[in-house]
Amino acid sequence: MADNNSSTDTKIEKPPEVKRAWADEVDDEPEPEPEPEPTSSSSISEEKAPEPDIGSLTIDETKKADKFLDEPEDSNIKAVTTGDTLYSTAATFEDLNLSEELLKGLYVEMKFTRPSKIQSISLPMILTPPYKDLIAQAHNGSGKTTCFVLGMLSRVDSKLKAPQALCICPTRELAIQNVEVLNKMGKYTGITSTCAIPMDRNHDLPIAKRQPITDQVVIGTPGTIKKWMSVKKLSTRDMKILVFDEADHMLAEDGFKDDSLRIIKDIERSSAHCQVLLFSATFNETVKNFVSRVVKDGNQMFVKKEELSLDVVKQYKVICPDELAKIHVIKDKIFELGEKLGQTIIFVHTRRSASALHTALADFGWQCTTIHGAIEKDHRDKIVKEFKDGLTQVLISTDLLARGFDQSQVNVVVNYDLPVKHESPSEPDYEVYLHRCGRAGRFGRKGIF
């Protein structure tokens, strides 16, 4: 992890006056002085950076990923239920009374053998009548996506050709990833899905000219979802379950709070009862209190803030006097380490930092790819696919991929720029730091940050 010289910027989506975007900052204003950093397991200088134990970090590919699903073992999930409904944890997927088609998807397609800890606790709450709302927090890489995807697939009637489940995500990349998981898990169910994300206007048919959505599950970003609802192409009258992935950001003031609340209210008006599921690895106190007011009669699962850091991800700090020193640390030490371990993600704060770092590393002969919000949507999709397919080893990214991005072979994450709070650039953003860190250590795999 390298020291940060962050910058204070404005979002460029709709100038001149829009909310700041957590995922992508531009670089128009002078950079402030370096800010305090999130705590790290060790403090070292560039000259004396210790070499991590490669043997302890190497992944044994003969072991299935689901072997790690119960980790971290010491995670202490506190569940608070309302009402008189009794829930018992699910030791096996059979305990959930799932259809044969869903079980086949879990075992054959997903290669799962048993529920992870969060799945064993949350799935009975999601799938047991009267289908209460749920606010759920758990470690990055612990299996949250399976919880809400399995919840949506279980609640949907495949014979009814109408939208019945809706999942809202902060980025197109996360929405596409969730659709892929749903299609894989629901392969044998006959349930269909639509991905509601911004598309290429030059090659895509405008939504106003399309037929109404008849797929049972819709997963997308809030702006596109709201637009589809406003032009009456996305019906909510049969909606049974509404999911917010990365819910703390979806309901935060500097996130998508207004759009999210509008969608919730529109669905409440048209649906008799729609179960609301809120999932994230982090919930700061402000958002947690707000969410608790939105979901008045629901169940809750939280992890203590001090227990959110993943033990399987070793954190290192490298003291760098300037920007050039950070580049040399990546070039001389981190790239060599990353080649031995798997894939690497380097997080930067701004688009300009991403481009400058890419150019500098390319000048040294290192191959890498870069992704940020200014890149064309189709090209972004291609970059992500190539990285997930293992065609590229190093990916430079703004916080566009800090949340929810799942690639099991990422074992090294570099904090080239430290994340800072948009409303207070002098203060580190600990939640984003945890999310970045969680791109390694997926399902208990080891990594370094």
Judge residue 294's burial from the number of C-beta atoms within 10 Å of its C-beta, 0-12 exposed, 13-18 middle, 19 or more buried.
middle
Determine the pLDDT at residue 310.
Answer: 53
Percent of the chain with pLDDT over 70: 76
For residue 346, is it within any domain? yes
pLDDT surpassing 80 at residue 204: no
**pLDDT digit string, tens, across residues 60-108:** 444 443 333 334 444 567 788 888 888 889 999 999 999 999 999 999 9
Helices (H), 271-334: 285-294, 323-329
Average pLDDT of the residues of the chain = 78
- What dihedral angle (degrees, nearest 10) is formed by the CA atoms of 392, 398, 399, 402? 20
> For position 403, which CATH number holds?
3.40.50.300
Cα separation, 370 vs 391, in Å, equals 14
The three-class DSSP label of residue 3 is: coil
pLDDT surpassing 90 at residue 236: yes
**Average pLDDT of 396-407?**
84
Between residues 365 and 228, which one has the greater pLDDT? 228
* Counted domains in the chain: 2
415/345 same-domain check: yes
**Average pLDDT of 242-250?**
89
Determine the pLDDT at residue 149.
Answer: 97
244/318 same-domain check: no
326/298 same-domain check: no
CA atoms within 13 A on the CB side of 311: 7
Q: Which residue has tokens 């380097």?
A: 346
Between residues 287 and 157, which one has the greater pLDDT? 157
pLDDT surpassing 80 at residue 49: no
Q: Which of 284, 307, 330 is the last residue of a domain?
A: 307
Determine the pLDDT at residue 400.
Answer: 86
Evaluate whether 37 touches 317 at the Cβ level (below 8 Å): yes
273/379 same-domain check: no
Q: Is the dihedral of CA 157, 161, 162, 168 positive or negative?
A: positive
Helices (H), 128-233: 144-155, 172-185, 222-230
Between residues 300 and 8, which one has the greater pLDDT? 300
Determine the pLDDT at residue 253.
Answer: 76
353/263 same-domain check: no
Q: Which residues contact 89 (CB under 8 A, 6 or more apart)?
A: 120, 121, 124
For residue 35, is it within any domain? no
Percent of the chain with pLDDT over 90: 34
Name 287's bridge partners.
none
pLDDT surpassing 90 at residue 424: no
- 369-371 sheet: strands from edge to edge: 313-314, 447-448, 410-415, 343-347, 394-397, 369-371
Query: 7-16, 218-227, 263-272, 313-322 — which is least confidently predicted?
Result: 7-16
339/226 same-domain check: no
Evaluate whether 425 touches 31 at the Cβ level (below 8 Å): no
pLDDT band at 338 (very low <50, low <70, confident <90, very high): low
241/302 same-domain check: yes
pLDDT surpassing 60 at residue 364: yes
pLDDT surpassing 50 at residue 6: no
pLDDT surpassing 70 at residue 239: yes
Q: Is the dihedral of CA 148, 258, 294, 249 positive or negative?
A: positive
Q: Are strands 410-415 and 343-347 parallel, antiparallel or unpaired?
A: parallel
pLDDT band at 333 (very low <50, low <70, confident <90, very high): confident
Determine the pLDDT at residue 53.
Answer: 52
Per-residue exposure over 79-112, b if at least 16 CB sit within 10 Å of its own CB, e if not: eeeeeeeebeebeebeebebeebbbbbbeeebeb
Q: Which of 264, 283, 307 is the last residue of a domain?
A: 307
Instruction: Give the residue numbers spanning the domain of 120.
Output: 77-198+211-307
**Average pLDDT of 279-299?**
78
pLDDT surpassing 90 at residue 20: no
Cα separation, 185 vs 192, in Å, equals 12
Question: Residue 444, Cβ neighbours under 10 Å: how many?
Answer: 20
For residue 366, is it within any domain? yes
381/437 same-domain check: yes
Number of H helices, E strands in the chain: 14, 16
Question: Residue 20, Cβ neighbours under 10 Å: how many?
Answer: 16
Determine the pLDDT at residue 41.
Answer: 34
Judge residue 158's burial from the number of C-beta atoms within 10 Å of its C-beta, 0-12 exposed, 13-18 middle, 19 or more buried.
middle
Cα separation, 24 vs 354, in Å, equals 10
What are the Cα distances from residue 354, in Å, to 327, 370, 399, 421? Answer: 12, 7, 11, 19
* 23 closest CA partner among 406, 343, 412, 397: 397
280/228 same-domain check: yes
For residue 129, is it within any domain? yes
**Average pLDDT of 117-139?**
90
What are the Cα distances from residue 307, in Å, to 65, 73, 87, 408, 414? Answer: 23, 11, 24, 22, 22
DSSP secondary structure string for all residues of 399-422: GGGSSS---TTEEEEEESS--B-S
What are the Cα distances from residue 112, in Å, to 105, 115, 143? Answer: 9, 8, 11
256/278 same-domain check: yes
* Structure letter (DSSP) for residue 19: P
For residue 179, is it within any domain? yes
Helices (H), 234-280: 247-250, 257-270
For residue 270, is it within any domain? yes
pLDDT surpassing 60 at residue 9: no
Q: Which of 257, 272, 307 is the last residue of a domain?
A: 307
360/441 same-domain check: yes
Cα separation, 72 vs 443, in Å, equals 8
pTM of the model: 0.71
Cα separation, 447 vs 172, in Å, equals 26
For residue 40, is it within any domain? no
**Average pLDDT of 294-307?**
74
329/416 same-domain check: yes
Between residues 200 and 73, which one has the greater pLDDT? 200
For residue 333, is it within any domain? yes
Between residues 264 and 57, which one has the greater pLDDT? 264
Cα separation, 108 vs 312, in Å, equals 28
Q: According to the per-residue pLDDT averaged within each range, which of 299-313, 359-373, 427-441 is highest?
A: 359-373
The three-class DSSP label of residue 320 is: coil
